[in-house]
């Protein structure tokens, strides 16, 4: 099992970046990553796939987290190996 998680948070444009978290996000996308390099690749892929139209109604914040036993992803991103 991967120890790292790539986490993409879709947050409202009115929310400050430091307040954007799993609890305050409009949507959460999680993908496992085995290495920091894989996390970087996932982050780029998630950002590109988000495809937000222009405007400041929402933004994407991508973080790297360590997996916790109680962690259950809202939605897992599918990536071809």
User: Going residue by residue through the chain (81 aa), what tens digit of pLDDT does each one get?
Assistant: 668 899 999 999 999 999 999 999 999 988 898 888 998 888 888 888 877 665 678 888 988 888 876 545 555 555 544
Strand order through the sheet with 58-66: 27-33, 4-12, 58-66
- Give this prediction's pTM: 0.71
Give the span between the Cα atoms of 70 and 49, in whole angstroms: 28
């Amino acid at each position: 099992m991967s120890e790292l998680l790539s986490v993409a948070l879709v947050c409202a444009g009115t929310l400050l970046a430091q307040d954007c978290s799993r609890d305050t996000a409009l949507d959460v996308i999680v993908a496992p990553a085995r290495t920091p390099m894989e996390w970087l690749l996932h982050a780029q892929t998630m950002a590109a796939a988000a495809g937000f139209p222009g405007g400041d109604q929402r933004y994407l914040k991508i973080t790297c987290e360590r997996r916790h036993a109680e962690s259950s992803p809202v939605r897992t991103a599918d990536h071809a190996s």
